[in-house]
Structure 1
Amino acid sequence: MTSTRRQNADTKGRIAARTQPMFNRVLPAHPAAVRDTLGDIRRRFAAEVGEDTLARLELVLAEVMNNVTEHGAGISVEDDPRRAPSIHISIVRHVSGLCCAITDDGASLPDDCLQPRCLPSLTQPELPEGGWGWYLIQDLTQALCYFREDQRNYLAFSVPFSEEARPL
C-alpha cells in the first residue's frame, strides 16, 4: 500500500471513529443536574438506539448518579449543594451496546455493593438501603467494574443492545 493510500485509510478510520455518537458531561451530584443529564443522554442516543436499550441505560444511570447524589458527599446535598461531589460521565455506542464510564469524587462505594445480589424479598416490610438499586444495576449491565484511586470512584459497564432493537 502506498503512503498516500495508507494515509487516506488512516484518516477515514479516524473520521469514522469521531462520528460515533459519544456523550460526555461533568455535573454536580445534585438531583436537578442528574435529571437534566438523563434527558440530554436520551436526546443524544434516541435516534440510534432502541427504546428498550435506552430505558435500561437510563434506569442504571439514574440509580448510579442518584446514589452519588444521596450518599457521595456524606451529607444531604439538598442541605449544602456546595459540597456536592462532581460526576464525570462518558458514554459511547459500541457494536454490542452502550459503554459507560462514570467517575466521581464522592465517598467510597461500600465494599458489599458489587457482591452478587438476589432480588429482595417482597415480603420484607422495609427494604434495606441498596435493596433494589444494586440488584437492578447488576441485572441490566455487563462487565460491571469498580475501583477507587486517589479519592475518586471509577465505575464502568456496558448496557447491551436488546436483540430485537439492534441499531444498524
Structure 2
Amino acid sequence: MYPIDRQKADPGKLAACETWPIFHRVLTASPLAIRETLCDIRNRFTKSTDPDTLGRLELVLAEVLNNVAEHAVPRHGGLAVKDSPTIHLSIVRTERGFVCAVTDDGISLPDKCLQPRNLPGFEDSELSESGFGWFLIQDLTQTLCYYREEQRNCLAFSVPLARAVRSS
C-alpha cells in the first residue's frame, strides 16, 4: 500500500483510513515489549470494537507473541545462541473484525502446532507445554495461515467480531 497524499486524496478514502486504522509495531520478543504492545493495541481499538472481540484479540496475540518470546530463540545445549527474535505485528480493523499478520526471525514453528486438535487428551512431547495456547489460537481465530519464507516465520489470521461468532 502506498502512502496517502492528504492534499490529493479522496476525502472518502481518508475518512475510511482514519476510521479503520492500521496498527503496526516492530518489537523485540521480550515480555516487557509484548506487554507494552498489548496495552497499545487496547488503547488503539477500545473505542472501535466491543469488549468481547477486543478480549479475544488480546488473548490470541498474547499467546502468539509470548510463544515467539519463549520458543523461537535458537538454543544449543539449553543456551540461547542469538538475541531474542524481532517481531513485526500488523493489525487491520475491518467491518468483520481484525486481520493480523505476525512475522519473526526466530526458529521455525513445529509442524504439529497448526494441526487441528481437540482439547481433551492432547499430548505432544515436542511441545514444551501442553499446547493449550495453540488450541486457543485455533479456536478463537479464522483463516489461520502459517508459512516460512527464507529466515522468517509468517503467521496470519483473523479475529471476527463477537456478533459474527454468535451468528455462525
Question: RMSD of the alignment, in Å?
Answer: 2.7
Distance (whole Å) between structure 1 residues aligned to residue 108 and residue 139 of structure 2: 22
Shift of residue 113 of structure 1?
A: 0.8
Shift of residue 14 of structure 1?
A: 2.9
Shift of residue 144 of structure 1?
A: 0.4
Give the 3-state SS of the residue equivalent to 2:112 in structure 1: coil
Distance (whole Å) between structure 2 residues aligned to residue 120 and residue 90 of structure 1: 33
Give the 3-state SS of the residue equivalent to 1:112 in structure 2: helix
1:40 — aligned with what?
40
Residue type of the alignment partner of 2:113: C
Q: Are 1:18 and 2:38 an aligned pair? A: no
Shift of residue 131 of structure 1?
A: 2.1
2:3 — aligned with what?
none
Rate the CA distance shift 1:103–1:130 in 2: closer, same or farther, 3 A: farther
Shift of residue 138 of structure 1?
A: 0.3
Q: Are 1:139 and 2:144 an aligned pair? A: no
- Once the two structures are superposed, the pairs formed by residues 66-145 of structure 1 within 5 Å of their partners are 66-75=66-75, 83-121=83-121, 129-145=129-145
CA-to-partner distance for each residue in 1:71-90, whole Å, 9 max, x for gaps?
11124xxx87x701000000
**TM-score under structure 2 normalisation?**
0.81
CA-to-partner distance for each residue in 1:85-111, whole Å, 9 max, x for gaps?
000000011111011000000010001
Identity %: 58
> Which runs of 5 or more residues in structure 1 are unaligned?
1-9
Distance (whole Å) between structure 2 residues aligned to residue 51 and residue 121 of structure 1: 31
2:151 — aligned with what?
151
**TM-score under structure 1 normalisation?**
0.81
Q: Are 1:65 and 2:61 an aligned pair? A: no
1:52 — aligned with what?
52
Shift of residue 117 of structure 1?
A: 1.4
CA contact (8 A) 1:120 1:131 kept: no
1:162 — aligned with what?
162
CA-to-partner distance for each residue in 1:111-130, whole Å, 9 max, x for gaps?
111100111349x8xx9624
Larger Cα Rg: Structure 1 or Structure 2? 1
Distance (whole Å) between structure 1 residues aligned to residue 93 and residue 164 of structure 2: 17
Residue type of the alignment partner of 2:142: Q
Residue type of the alignment partner of 1:56: R
